[in-house]
Amino acid sequence: SRLSRVERELAHVPEAIALLGCETAKDEGMGVAQAFLWRGARQVLAAMDTIDDELSGWLARRLYADVNGKSLDLAAALRKATESLRRQDVTSVPMTKAWWLFRVFSR
């Protein structure tokens, strides 16, 4: 069946997943972030609502710059990225600073 094919494809999920799209961690029901945790991810970074594309891209670049071939602690990486974002001059960051819409879920 189709469901079992999806289950097979999700059998081996990464330990840390960054979902930088809009509404990837809705409050109601099981969102994409919660589904990855359910399938075995250790931590998932996701957005609670609609987010700005430039902010999402900026955050992705910051997260991947911190990886350097090692395991990524998403909570520490998000904290570091948001501290950097808050220090930036508003005119040099042409995006909404809605960094608070991102959450790290873990199990």
Q: Where are the beta strands (DSSP E) in the chain?
A: 16-18, 43-47, 102-106
- Residues 53-91 pLDDT 10s: 888 888 888 888 776 666 678 888 888 888 887 777 555
Query: Is the separation of the CB atoms in 96 and 22 below 8 Å?
Result: no
Mean predicted confidence (pLDDT) in 92-97? 53
pTM to 2 decimal places: 0.77
Is 56 within 8 Å of 98 (Cβ atoms)?
A: no
Average pLDDT of span 19-48: 87
Residue 83 has a pLDDT of: 82
Cα dihedral 20/95/98/90 (nearest 10): 140
Confidence of residue 94 (pLDDT cuts 50, 70, 90): very low
Mean pLDDT (whole number) for 89-104: 67
